[in-house]
Amino acid sequence: MKTIAGDKYSISILYVEDEQSIREGYTKALHRLCDKLYIAQNGKEGLELYKEYKPDIIISDIKMPVMNGIEMVRAIREINPDECCIIFTTAHSDSSYLFEALELQVNGYLLKPVQKNILKSKIENLSNIIIKEKINLEQKIQIEEQKTILQNIIDTEQNLLLVTDFQDVLFANSAFLESFQVKNVEEFNQKCERLLNIFLPLPNYLHQGLTNKNETFYDLIKKTDESKRSVTLISTHGNPKAYHINISQIRHKNRDSYLLSLTDITKMNIEKIHTEKKAYYDGLTGVYNRHKFNELFDFELKRVKRHNHNTALVILDIDHFKNFNDLYGHLIGDEVLILISAMMQKSIRNTDVFARWGGEEFIILLPQTDIEIAQDIIENLRVIIENTQHKSAGKVTASFGITQLVSTDSIQSAFKRCDKALYQAKENGRNRVATLTTKKQKLRQKVCH
């Protein structure tokens, strides 16, 4: 661990001793052990030298004039509580200082006359520890600097770059984080329970539903002709964007991971996307329409049947919506629908599906969400709507019906249960959440408000 020629260690020592003969006798020996040696005659001088040079080890007598060793070390600990090793030297008659020295958590306590071989051994042991810590610190600093440089290089890339195991995102560049309006990958993983859920199941684009049994998404991409390796995501403005996807398999923390690069090809596919948008999006509100929801519902129901995933279905009905049209006209009614749609799109999770079912009714699908969590999510949405004010129509509220999909469900049976729950919410005064689930062929009901 010695880093300079001879027997010296690349460390610095502050030696504080008021007796000149002792000080001169040990100075030469200490010079042979360290790179830099600072000498002080009392605690006050020692403190000033410490402030200027920040030595690695302090060897100090305890009983000294002007400022004793205990007072000096106490002042040093206030400056840097843990960054300095302390060795006290003292005569037998100074044993009354022992408890004070121990309270300062010193690294050594040697009785005078100090044997030079014992002092040397103590310094060597501390030096090895100090140098190891310095090397570890330097390595950490170098790693952080390299990571910062690499991150800065990657963040200049306009493509969306990420490393994933297809469950969580392990690393992402700023372009990816900004596209999902999150600060870091931890926040993204909290919002999106599974990465593959961000790829929309649109025709002619790759998505999770196209994988065969025992096939990974990586396998699907690799077997697809490179010219057709395209996916779609929802942008921050709620519009679908098309990306060409490149993938490489890598090793990350002793597990298989994948580097994905997504290149925006939306402009190249704008006509196709507009056509798909007309087919799958509601013309008034811009959210999914019934046709698109049925397609996504069918996909999620298959997952429930195959993997027994918990998935919740929700119907939202704007309370007394007819009054908005009758009192303020259909244009104001349309504005209310647009307002609620925009607010809901902003409030739901990335993995949730929100669509207009018809009239003032909307539908929500919460994949991989059990009924208790679904109730909490929807209750929060109910409160958000309750606090919504339209500039002309005033306060808006909504009623919600929730059910959980089961493996025996069809779209008809699931919607029948959800409708019953919504009816119960309305019967109990509206502006509330009602839940209806099946359990052993018996209905269980809960109303929340």
Helix (H) or strand (E) holding 74: helix 69-79
Q: Distance (Å, rounded) from C-alpha 13 to C-alpha 57?
A: 5
Q: Distance (Å, rounded) from C-alpha 126 to C-alpha 85?
A: 8
Point out the residues that are catalytic.
360
DSSP 134: H
Q: Distance (Å, rounded) from C-alpha 157 to C-alpha 45?
A: 55
Q: Distance (Å, rounded) from C-alpha 66 to C-alpha 63?
A: 10
Given its phi and psi angles, is residue 214 left (phi above 0), alpha (psi -120 to 50 degrees) or beta?
Answer: left
**Helix, strand, or coil (residue 323):** helix
Q: Distance (Å, rounded) from C-alpha 282 to C-alpha 290?
A: 8
Overall residue count recorded for the chain in this entry: 449
Q: Distance (Å, rounded) from C-alpha 52 to C-alpha 67?
A: 18
Rounded to whole angstroms, what are the CA distances from 117 to 26, 57, 123, 438? Answer: 11, 17, 10, 81
Amino acid at 346: K
Q: State the CB neighbour count (10 A cutoff) for residue 17.
A: 24
Structural Rg of the chain based on CA atoms: 35
Q: Distance (Å, rounded) from C-alpha 73 to C-alpha 44?
A: 10
Rounded to whole angstroms, what are the CA distances from 433 to 322, 405, 447? Answer: 20, 17, 6
